[in-house]
Amino acid sequence: FEFLGKDPQRVQLNYFVAARGGNEKMVGNGTDLSSGFNTYAFEWLPGSMRWFINGKLVHSKTGAGLPSVPGQFFFSLWAGASSLDGWLGKFDPAAGPVSAEIDWAAYTRPDERCLFPESITCP
């Protein structure tokens, strides 16, 4: 999930195969995602990937071209540069400090189910 300042109602999904991205997809749930905490989740299984926002499936990908080696997830806040204005949106430093808050992160193995109430594995 990549949060681009130009559109707080959408996030960019991406995944990497052999250290290459290029699999971007912009998705949203019709609300301002910057107005409060949200739950973001993805499910990565052999032959499929699915992305969720607040428990709702927002995108899925199946078939060839998906990652097949162990991966990682990380959090970052893009500072941006004028060369990235078209992607991120124009950054205005006079608008005040920019921050990202992560309340918690969790990992669930494919063989585990419902370890915490917000998990997409819970019924």
- 31-80 pLDDT, tens digit per residue, is 999 889 999 999 998 899 999 999 899 999 999 899 988 888 877 777 67
Give the CA dihedral 104, 44, 65, 76, nearest 10 degrees. 0
Token pair 């162990």: residue: 70
- 8-19 pLDDT, tens digit per residue, is 899 999 999 988
Write the DSSP assignment of 18-77 as a string of letters. TTB----EEEE-SS-TTSS---EEEEEETTEEEEEETTEEEEEEESTTS--S--------
101 an active-site residue?
no
Residue type, 37: F
Diameter of the chain measured on Cα atoms: 48
Q: Which pLDDT belongs to residue 79?
A: 67
- Rounded to an integer, what distance in angstroms lies between the CA atom of residue 33 and that of residue 35? 6
> Facing residues of 41 across strands?
52
Model's pTM, two decimal places? 0.84
